[in-house]
Structure 1
Amino acid sequence: MTVAIAVLAFAALTSASGARRAAHAAAQCSSSDTAPPNPANPLDTPGLTGTNPLAGAHLFVESPWLYGGDAADAIANEVGLGGLSNATSGTPIPWARFEARVNKMHLSRAKSFVVHELEKIGDYPQAHQFSRYTAGGSGPQIFTQVQNYLCRMQQTDPSAAAVITTYFVKHGSGCDGGDQPNFQAEVDNLKAAVGNFPALIFVEEDAIDTICWRNPAAVTGRAALLKYEIDQLSQLPHALLYVEGGTADANSPGAVAQVLNASDASKIRGFFLGDTHFNWASKEIKFGNKVSRLTGGLHFVVDTRADGNGPLLNPDPVTQGIEQLCNPSGRGLGPKPGASDGASYGMYSPHLDGFVWVTTPGESAAPTCPGHSTHYAASGIFDEGIAIGYASRANDRIGPSPRFKSRPW
């Protein structure tokens, strides 16, 4: 199929009027799931066996139509469909349908390589972040954004569970403790928007990783914020929750456990690790086991979006931190998202639920980085070059060779 024909085909799929899109943006999407909450199967996964709620879960994978997945949007732009994906009218389409059409197109070898690498990212569920920054700190705007996301899911994959991460805590505010403006309103509006929808929710990226530990008021203040969010979101009838639990190379298990215990984390499934670092998953699993023992057996998941080659270490860890975190070179995708107890990777943990992508693979840390001449996308924005680099070096392993077998994918 030529690009021109493909554009016409997709135009037929996206012929709804601008008025319809405006109505959709204001639509109230709700789930018809009225089943009572089932703590053993919070996502209502059909035929779930065993005790891992991620096993067999059907999680939402976003397509490019109307502000969808970052990798999907990049593919649409690469094959000449970016104008449609950014159009002011149209209807979302399923990722699988979009991918199948793209793969029928007659692309150059170079273009095919780019699409193939980006599909390694686009094929898997990634958390959609709802943030005080993307909504300007407004609770009602959070409600609208979450509803629009859920409407897309309802239209394109109604049997899927949403994948959401929150970022409502104000970071970079020094060592201040206590409450923060609009925080409760943002949490309340996200809770109201999700309602009865099944949803995998990662509570507060960076919430523990950025605590100012030398200030007791900051520690207790952060715990109080997390407690409020956990108390509220744990009331959602079909939500599976993990709260941020730091990283192995930046936190101590005892300190993390102290905050989790003070935050009522016992009300939810557990915690997630490694969302902003590039450490080996094996290191995070060891760390997670220690935290689990100190929190009454909480379960955990590990973010593996860019740890297939492990960390890039700083030459002066005392002043710069152990890892280079600003768009480090040579990193690759790690284990694919999904349920796992680690046994097939050579490190079994009874508390590990699986691997996830909380942070989008390819998301830039900053437009410029110390010691780099390269310019990147702004902080938090998808950078196609970073993403293709991750994908081209993808490795389904949790630690270095020879103990852990290298498995490029």
Structure 2
Amino acid sequence: MPPAAARRRLPTVLGLLLLLSAAPACSEEPPPEPGPPGAAADIAESPFWVDPRSDAARQVAEWEAAGRNSDAQVLRRIGDRPMALWVPGGDPGPEIRRAAAGARAAGRTMVLVAHNIPDRDCDRHPAGGAKDARAYRSWIGAFADGIRDTKAVVILEPGAVAHVVDGCTRAEHHAERYRLLSEAVDRLKRNRNTKVYLDAGDPAWIRDPMDLVAPLHEAGLERADGFALNVADFQPDAAARAYGAKISKRAGNKHFVIDTSRNGDGPLPGDRAQASCNPPGRSLGPAPTDRTGDPLVDAYLWVKRPGESDGTCRGGPTAGTWWPDYALGLARRARE
């Protein structure tokens, strides 16, 4: 090579040698498997509390101990993210106080679901809810007392208003239900850091959103922070946003939250009752966040805990029971 050409090549060769000397030594250990795309970022940015004792978190630990590391890593898409804590009947105090202590220690907001209204299941099996109005007032008081000044979002009584509108709840219970919901809003709002969202069903349940406006107001919407949509259902975000905007326009521009826990692929086509009970092929929706990009939508939340069964349809266990195989399928099909 001519001397001039060699001099021209010298900086390039020296630069390459410097880069190689700065590179880490080769290792026979493979690099760690990355987590789900964006997971670390959205967990860090979310203001909501992650329950370290959730069924999903415990399943992750169990699978890791058994050497099922690949499945455990996928399931972290659920176990490492914030989900609502459902508080049905019985004494709500101990579990809420546990969550409150964890949320305060983490500097986060806990998300709770109050689900104990009398005649909750319209006299159908499995029947549930407080035995009467007096019992419910006592229960919601204990619920609120457990929260105290901890930052909390409460989804108030999924299905309670929609069941009045669709006729599932008998007419003789309507006035009492509205009164109890309204009182519950007032009791919870006495806590200075509690936000309350009355459940308003979903677009596939009550087809005309205007049918919900007056019932929501009777249930105390004016004094609540807003309403909740798509709880435990699979409707796409866009459909829920459009539906909620129509309610909001007629309800004093009230804001709302959307359950995105299992709506990544939308609903299963067909009859709603069948399509909303453990439908196959579904996936997780957007991770919980208060950065929704929509001024009317206060948050995307995982209200329904992904992986808990909707009931004994399609081979599932009883409603609310942890179903690891279904959870793993939701997580595997997730786009994030």
Task: Give TM class, smaller chain.
Answer: 0.7 to 0.9
**CA RMSD across the alignment:** 2.3
TM-score between both structures, scaled by the size of structure 2 = 0.78
Q: For the residues of structure 1 that align with 2:305 and 2:77, how far apart are their CA atoms?
A: 12
Match in the other structure for 1:279: 235
Q: For the residues of structure 2 that align with 1:77 and 1:210, how far apart are their CA atoms?
A: 39
Structure with the higher fraction of residues in helix conformation: 2
Match in the other structure for 1:389: 329
Match in the other structure for 1:350: 295
Partner of 2:317, secondary structure, is: coil
Q: Does 1:167 align with 2:152?
A: no
Q: For the residues of structure 2 that align with 1:79 and 1:329, how far apart are their CA atoms?
A: 26
**Residues 172-193 of structure 1: CA distance to partner in whole angstroms, max 9, x if unpaired?**
2349xx9535111110001111
Partner of 1:78, secondary structure, is: helix
Q: Which amino acid aligns with 1:226?
A: L
TM-score between both structures, scaled by the size of structure 1 = 0.65
Match in the other structure for 1:144: 94
Match in the other structure for 1:90: none
CA contact (8 A) 1:307 1:332 kept: yes
Unaligned runs of 5+ in 2: 1-44, 125-130
List, as ranges, runs of 4+ consecutive aligned residues in structure 1 with deviation greater than 6 Å: none
Q: For the residues of structure 1 that align with 2:232 and 2:174, how far apart are their CA atoms?
A: 20
Percent of matched pairs sharing the same residue: 24
CA contact (8 A) 1:311 1:323 kept: no
Partner of 2:133, secondary structure, is: coil
Q: For the residues of structure 2 that align with 1:337 and 1:113, how far apart are their CA atoms?
A: 24
**Residues 356-393 of structure 1: CA distance to partner in whole angstroms, max 9, x if unpaired?**
11110111011x31xx3xx3232101211111111111
Equivalenced residues, count: 283
**Residues 60-89 of structure 1: CA distance to partner in whole angstroms, max 9, x if unpaired?**
1011xxxx11210111221238xxxxxxxx
Which of the residues 38, 50, 63 maps onto 1:78?
Answer: 63
CA contact (8 A) 1:277 1:323 kept: no
CA contact (8 A) 2:47 2:289 kept: no
Match in the other structure for 1:398: none
Instruction: Give the C-alpha shift of residue 158 in structure 1.
Output: 3.9
**Residues 15-71 of structure 1: CA distance to partner in whole angstroms, max 9, x if unpaired?**
xxxxxxxxxxxxxxxxxxxxxxxxxxxxxxxxxxxxxxxxx66221011xxxx1121
Larger-gyration structure (1/2): 2
Unaligned runs of 5+ in 1: 1-55, 82-106, 136-140, 343-348, 395-407
Q: For the residues of structure 1 that align with 2:166 and 2:176, how far apart are their CA atoms?
A: 11
Compared with structure 1, are the counterparts of its residues 231 and 364 closer, same or farther at alpha carbon in structure 2 (3 Å cutoff)? Answer: same
User: Aligned runs of 1:34-45 on 2, under 5 Å?
Assistant: none
Q: For the residues of structure 2 that align with 1:393 and 1:57, how far apart are their CA atoms?
A: 22
Match in the other structure for 2:29: none
CA contact (8 A) 2:109 2:152 kept: yes
Q: Does 1:209 align with 2:162?
A: yes
